Structure formats: structure tokens, C-alpha cells
Chain A
């Protein structure tokens, strides 16, 4: 389906990268504009006055915000390589997990990495419980979407790639292979898919960015 596609994003954000992953998977051409958080562009503020965040997706002049909303729109508009199943029950299940990942995982990982030393054990345990849910949900499948990646895999990019970056940047261990063999395996498979591989930020650049912006953990306290 023709039409001009624009994406406002941030190179390090898993949320805007999700949208790029979906666009790449479906072979959709788009123009990308990278945002500077300390100096948000007038266009971004115009297109997302409510949350003032990336990603913002513009198709034929019509704009959308919130990565999961954008992903569903992309899937409904460009039918190649569907990322949501056809069956309503499976669709509901995919939406459930994508929402759950969005609501809980990044904040839990963040907390584990940046909290006070005395709170760390509890935060890591909470993150571990969350990771266990995903480990169980994977069952014997290659991806959360089954044989091919879907909405949940893309939403789980936080775990697929960013988690390891956080671990390295802040010196915290969260995704142990002995404890989460399936999830580790999934993460390796996930980042080797070309649509994903081409859309993950460079590792060293992201680690440096996180360390600079948020400090190198609280281990020195």
C-alpha cells in the first residue's frame, strides 16, 4: 500500500525500534527522523502533544503514537508477514503478553539496575519472577509468535536485546542461562533475524550512552 511513511524515533529506544523492526519485516519504506530528548523537535510535539514521546508514526499525514498501537496499525494496513494471529483467542493472548511486557518489564529491569544496593536483591527477584513467566510462555516454540516472530517477540525486544545491554552497562546479572534456557535461546534466535539485526542500536554506543546518562550503577556506594 503506497503512501508516505515517517517515523520519529530515538536510536536507543526499544519502543521506536519495535516500529522499525515491523516496518523492516514487512518491507515498508519509510523516512526516519532521530529525536534529541533534550531538544524535542516541533514536529514531535505537534504530532504527540499528549505524551511528547517517541515513537511517532505518520502515514499519509495521519499520525499515531504508542508503539503497540502503531504495530497493530501497521499489521492491519500492510498484510504481508502478519505479526498478529488470525484467531481471536490467540490475538487476545498476544495482546495480553505485549501489554504485560510493556507495563512491567522495562521498569523492573531498570529498578534492578539502578536501585540502592539494599533494595537490589528484592528488585532482582521480582525481575526474575517476570522472566520466569516469559520462559514458561515460550513452551517448546521457537518464537512467541510460533514459527515466525510476532507482536510479542517484537514487544519483547527489551528482553531480546536491551536486557543484556543493561546488564553490561550496570553490572547486574538478570538473565542467567541455567535459569532461563529457553528465553536465552529465544533471544539469540531473535537478534539473528535480519529485520531485527538491522534494527538494534550498536552495543558499545548504547552501553556508553547508558553509563554517561545514568551513571555506572550504584555499586561504588
Chain B
């Protein structure tokens, strides 16, 4: 029985990128459907009635929502290849903890930087550096968060790389100077074809964020 896989997504979404990378890693063919978040499709509203958000993975007609939950679902269904989580329960829990940390912290603080100005922006930047310092601490001297190869935590964080140029430009700082280990990690991970092909161009994301800022009256 052929699998029918559909992904409802929005190209600059870091959350959607996680799913795209996971699908690419597993070599799964799928239909990509771009959503207009200002005019959400009936399909999206039907498949994610609670949050009405992307990404949504629709597998043989059944929806799975929330990017990290989708990634784990993909890992469990297509378990015969390219594992995305470790097999050891403790390492899995450790990976889930850090992916959860990325989820809870990175998006909000990044958003604070590009949607605010003045004191609020400076406060956002301070928090951003603290969070990334914590992540650098967790990375340590390992090439990836998953140790020898990339894993769940790497996947949860790498999409933010495509937003770094936008964040550092609007935030008026230099990402490589402030978080050298993270940038080095990201560049290492980008050597993977599945990641390089999936992440949108940083300049394109920057233009998108610029348009959003105009809409918020920040430009």
C-alpha cells in the first residue's frame, strides 16, 4: 500500500523546516502544500482545529500536529532507516529535554528581537545571548548535540540558522561574534545535503522579516 504523505507548511517557518528535514532524512516522498497564513485553507482548519497552525503532516488522511511530535512520529513509522532519536531511553529523554528547551525559548526570544525596538529589543538581545550561551554549554566540544552524529536536538535548532541573518541585522549584532560555537555547529550541519537543500536562503528570510516589520509598523 503506497503511503500518502502531505505536509501543510509555510516556507519560512522553522517548525515546518524541522519536518521537511526529517522527511528528507528518511527519504519519504510527500506533497508539499504552502499555506497562506493570512488566509488559512479549509484543509488546515480541518486538520488542526485546535491550534490552526502549520506544520501539519497528513499521513494516509490522518493529521499529526506540532513539529517535534511530527518528527517523533516520522521516526517511529519509518523506523527502518536514519534514526532521528537515540535508542537508549536516557539519551532519548535527554534529547527530548533539550528539544523542549529550544521549543520553549528560542522562537519567543528571537521574535522579541525583530518585533521590538529600544529597551525592549535590548532586553530581548540579552536574553537571546543567555539562551544561546546555555545551548553552547550543552553542545560543549561535541560536533553535534547528538554527539558523533546529528540528532533530535540538532534538528530542532538548525532551522533557526536560516533566520540568523535577519535576527542579527535587525538586532544589530553579529551572530558569529556572539555565538561562535553555534555558528560553527550550524555550518558543520549544513554540509549535510538534506539540511542544505531544505533550509531557505538567509537573505530570502531577511526580506520576509523586513516585510513583516513593515506590517508591524517597525520600518
Contacts and interface: CB of A to CB of B under 8 A. Distances in A.
Interface string A51-68: 000000001001011100
B94 interface: yes
A89 interface: yes
B52 interface: no
Interface string B68-90: 01101100110000000000011
Nearest to A100: B50
A73 B134 CA distance: 23
A214 interface: no
Contact of A99 (B59, B66, B89): B66
Q: How large is the interface on B (under 10, 10 to 19, 20 to 34, 35 or more residues)?
A: 20 to 34
A133 interface: yes
Contacts of B62: 89
Interface in A58-89: 59, 62, 64-66, 69-70, 72-73, 76-77, 88-89
Contacts, number: 54
Interface string A30-64: 00000000000000000000100000000100101
A133 B50 contact: yes
B43 to A, nearest CB: 18
Dominant secondary structure of chain B at its interface with chain A = helix
Contact of B94 (A59, A64, A77, A89): A64
B96 interface: yes
Nearest to B138: A50
Interface in A74-116: 76-77, 88-89, 91-92, 95-96, 99-100
